[in-house]
Amino acid sequence: MISTDRGWTALLAAGTLLCAALSLGPALLPRPQVPVVTRVPLPPPSPTAAPSGSGQEPPVYPATASVQPLISGRVNLNTATPEQLEALPKVGPSLAAKLIAGRPYRSLADLDRVKGVGPSTLKTLSPLVSF
């Protein structure tokens, strides 16, 4: 009978240690590493020289090793990609396709003939595009 008491005592001690280990487990395990995000702002766009009297100047965005702006300065309507055209204000995928189909452009009058380019869009785009 002494051996049975020792067995139960040992089993009880092992169970107690197991419970203690399980309850302390999260505190003893290493915490997961969380990545640190750092944000470095780009410098503000610097305006370039625009024709006199336009009132609006095209922005010039700086390029970095990992960031290349879609548009910077005036966008040439004859060579711009669809993505560059869509980056212009008031130009969506449909109008960008119409602008590409209407090439070549020599003046604002040519741009005004494109269906979907009205007086408001023409006024917005005139200081931002070139031919």
Q: How far is CA 1 from CA 6, 7, 13, 15, 22, in A?
A: 9, 10, 18, 21, 32
Q: How far is CA 28 from the centre of its chain?
A: 40
What pLDDT, in 10s, does the model give residues 20-61?
766 666 666 677 778 887 777 766 666 554 444 455 667 777
- Global pTM reads 0.51
Task: List pLDDT tens digits, range 67-117.
Answer: 666 666 788 999 999 988 988 888 999 999 999 999 999 999 999 999 999
Residue 87: what pLDDT?
Answer: 85
Task: Show the domains of the chain with their CATH numbers.
Answer: 58-130 (1.10.150.320)
97 or 6: which leads in pLDDT: 97
Beta partners for residue 130, in sequence order? 76
Kindly list the distances between the CA atom of residue 18 and the CA atoms of 4, 6, 14, 15, 33, in Å, as whole numbers in the listed order: 21, 18, 6, 5, 27
